């Protein structure tokens, strides 16, 4: 497939109101894209849409959608088709986190996370697929995670969803080869609010869960989302099938492939040495 050209192309971005989604929105706007922005945060969506218009987007529409509701997203796809003629690029970026061990997390919360992080990716892609197939050179980007490559404890729900996104993306890429490009992205350590806004598993009476999330954000989430967005845009332009962001994520990816049964012990020993 030819390199993806962004100017004048209709790009749908979920989770567009903040974090990587907002950074992608502004990068695409500067490239003259037509934008359909999706988020449940109406105020944040309006703000980023205004910034996108000022940054050079040819046309911008906003779509307030709660991706946890289990909808088939056919109404969203129809809105985009009516306003913009159809989608050329779909970026499934929206995601949430959940703190706690598998024993602590309720099934209701587990299902809530899976609906947003995995099922909404599948449903949204399915809804937009007819448009993508009808528009030559179209592309899909699915945001997985470092935790779609390695599986740390206390992240069972999140890991389940992100490994699912990885598998869905890889199989879909093989099905659509030569017609629609598919890129799966594995960010690690991007400076967003995903940890501090994670849903807590039970009351945080002593504030320890919130404190751990804040410390994780401060020490581990260090790459600005704008840098991640640039890498994602470059991967789409080059039709890369896979993008792993940050050197730490790339090392963990290699380690998990070389020592799939032992990598977590190795990573724990390395972390222990750093704290000595």
Q: SS3 of 230, please? A: helix
**Could you tell me which residues are beta bridge partners of residue 34?**
10, 59
Reply yes or no on whether 158 is catalytic: yes
Q: In what order do the strands lie in the sheet with 242-245?
A: 59-64, 34-39, 10-14, 89-92, 139-143, 181-187, 242-245
Question: d(Cα 241, Cα 169) in Å, to the nearest integer?
Answer: 9
Strands 10-14 and 59-64, sheet pairing: unpaired
> Tokens in use for 230?
């640039």
- Identify the active-site residue in 4, 128, 158, 263: 158
> Which helix (H) or strand (E) is 218 found in, with range?
helix 208-220
Check: CB of residue 124 under 8 Å from CB of residue 140: no
Strand ranges, E, within 116-178: 139-143
Question: d(Cα 163, Cα 165) in Å, to the nearest integer?
Answer: 5
> Tokens in use for 201?
């598993």
Question: d(Cα 113, Cα 160) in Å, to the nearest integer?
Answer: 10
> Tokens in use for 269?
């020993």
Q: Which residues carry out catalysis?
A: 158
């Amino acid at each position: 497939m030819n390199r993806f050209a962004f100017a004048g192309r209709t790009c749908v971005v979920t989770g567009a109101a903040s974090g990587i989604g907002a950074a992608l929105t502004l990068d695409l706007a500067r490239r003259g894209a037509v934008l359909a922005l999706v988020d449940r945060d109406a105020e944040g969506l309006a703000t980023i849409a205004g910034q996108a218009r000022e940054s050079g987007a040819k046309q911008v529409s906003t779509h307030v959608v709660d991706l946890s509701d289990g909808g088939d997203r056919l109404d969203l796809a129809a809105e985009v088709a009516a306003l913009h003629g159809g989608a050329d690029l779909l970026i499934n970026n929206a995601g949430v986190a959940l703190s706690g061990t598998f024993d602590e997390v309720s099934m209701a919360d587990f299902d809530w996370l899976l609906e947003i992080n995995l099922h909404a990716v599948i449903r949204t892609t399915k809804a937009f697929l007819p448009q993508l197939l009808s528009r030559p050179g179209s592309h899909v980007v699915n945001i997985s995670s470092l935790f779609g490559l390695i599986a740390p404890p206390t992240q069972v729900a999140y890991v389940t969803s992100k490994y699912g996104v990885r598998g869905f993306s890889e199989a879909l890429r093989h099905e659509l080869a030569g017609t629609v490009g598919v890129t799966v992205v594995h960010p690690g350590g991007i400076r967003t609010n995903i940890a501090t806004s994670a849903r807590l598993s039970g009351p945080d009476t002593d504030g320890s869960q919130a404190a751990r999330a804040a410390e994780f954000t401060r020490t581990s989430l260090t790459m600005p989302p704008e840098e991640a967005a640039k890498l994602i845009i470059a991967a789409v332009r080059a039709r890369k099938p896979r993008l792993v962001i940050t050197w730490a994520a790339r090392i963990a990816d290699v380690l998990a492939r070389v020592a799939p049964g032992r990598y977590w012990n190795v990573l724990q020993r390395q972390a222990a040495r750093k704290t000595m």
